[in-house]
């Protein structure tokens, strides 16, 4: 309550601005918690209606108390639904294998060179397209399906700010009837 009052005073009574101030403070606190160990948590599931797509996701937090809160359980469910809808291949940019990055970078450079772009420009174009690649194939970089203004990573950060504990999306598996185990979207 005191944080809300302080934010309202700082925003000179503008509740929308105060909400933004609180979000910024919460995300700063979330960044400080990132190094803490997250060894508790939940394995969540989601089965899409029609029983053709299923997801298992492990999301960790610091304590079992937080894992039992409705906010944490909601995060797990929402992330599982997002995975079912968006079919990411990796949790984060760090998990993309270097050979895949090198291959994608080379393809983007060749596309730019094919358009007659200078090498320096082709490099910038390749880096820009890699950002698009990450937002397509990396869970934490994808736009959240329920609110396109947020990425899944930002949704996790907001939950960290709310629950005041480090939260880590550890791993996931997405199953679709008739699909091979390895995705045909990206092959190494």
Q: Quick check: is 182 in a domain? A: no
- Cα separations (Å) of 113 from 97, 109, 172? 25, 6, 37
pTM of structure: 0.74
Asked if the model's pLDDT at residue 66 lies above 90, the reply is yes
Handedness of CA 56, 41, 155, 127 (dihedral sign): negative
pLDDT digit string (tens) for 75-128?
Answer: 999 999 999 999 999 999 999 999 999 999 888 888 888 888 788 888 888 888
pLDDT digit string (tens) for 20-61?
Answer: 766 666 655 545 555 556 778 999 999 999 999 999 999 999
pLDDT category at 181 given cuts 50, 70, 90 is low
Q: Quick check: is 184 in a domain? A: no
The answer on 66 and 23 residing in a single domain is no
- Cα separations (Å) of 94 from 22, 138, 158? 29, 9, 21
The answer on 19 and 50 residing in a single domain is no
Answer with the residue of higher pLDDT: 119 or 184: 119
What is the pLDDT, as a whole number, of residue 22? 64
The answer on 57 and 91 residing in a single domain is yes
Q: Quick check: is 152 in a domain? A: yes
What is the pLDDT, as a whole number, of residue 188? 33
Q: Quick check: is 120 in a domain? A: no
Number of structural domains the chain divides into: 2
The answer on 42 and 91 residing in a single domain is yes
Contacts with 174 (C-beta within 8 Å, 6 or more apart), sequence order: 53, 54, 55, 83, 84, 87, 88
| Long-range contacts formed by 152-160: CB under 8 A, 24+ apart | 152/79, 152/82, 153/92, 155/75, 155/78, 155/79, 156/75, 156/79, 157/27, 157/30, 157/31, 158/23, 158/26, 158/27, 158/30, 159/71, 159/72, 159/75, 160/29, 160/30, 160/33
- For residue 28, give its domain range: 1-33
The answer on 76 and 29 residing in a single domain is no
The answer on 47 and 22 residing in a single domain is no
Q: Quick check: is 105 in a domain? A: no
The answer on 144 and 72 residing in a single domain is yes
What is the pLDDT, as a whole number, of residue 111? 85
Asked if the model's pLDDT at residue 184 lies above 50, the reply is no
């Amino acid at each position: 309550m005191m944080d809300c009052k302080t934010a309202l005073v700082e925003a000179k009574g503008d509740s929308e601005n105060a909400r933004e101030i609180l979000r910024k403070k919460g995300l700063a606190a979330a960044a400080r918690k990132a190094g803490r160990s997250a060894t508790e948590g939940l394995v969540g599931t989601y089965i899409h209606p029609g029983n053709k797509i299923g997801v298992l996701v492990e999301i960790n937090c610091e304590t079992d108390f937080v894992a039992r809160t409705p906010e944490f359980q909601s995060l797990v469910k929402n992330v599982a639904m997002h995975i079912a809808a968006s079919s990411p291949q990796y949790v984060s940019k760090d998990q993309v294998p270097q050979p895949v990055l090198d291959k994608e970078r080379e393809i983007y450079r060749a596309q730019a060179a094919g358009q007659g772009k200078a090498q320096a420009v082709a490099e910038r174009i390749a880096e820009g397209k890699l950002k698009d690649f990450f937002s397509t194939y990396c869970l934490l970089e994808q736009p959240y399906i329920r609110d396109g203004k947020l990425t899944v990573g930002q949704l996790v950060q907001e939950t960290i700010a709310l629950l005041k504990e480090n939260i880590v999306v550890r791993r996931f598996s997405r199953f679709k009837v008739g699909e091979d185990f390895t995705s045909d979207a990206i092959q190494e």
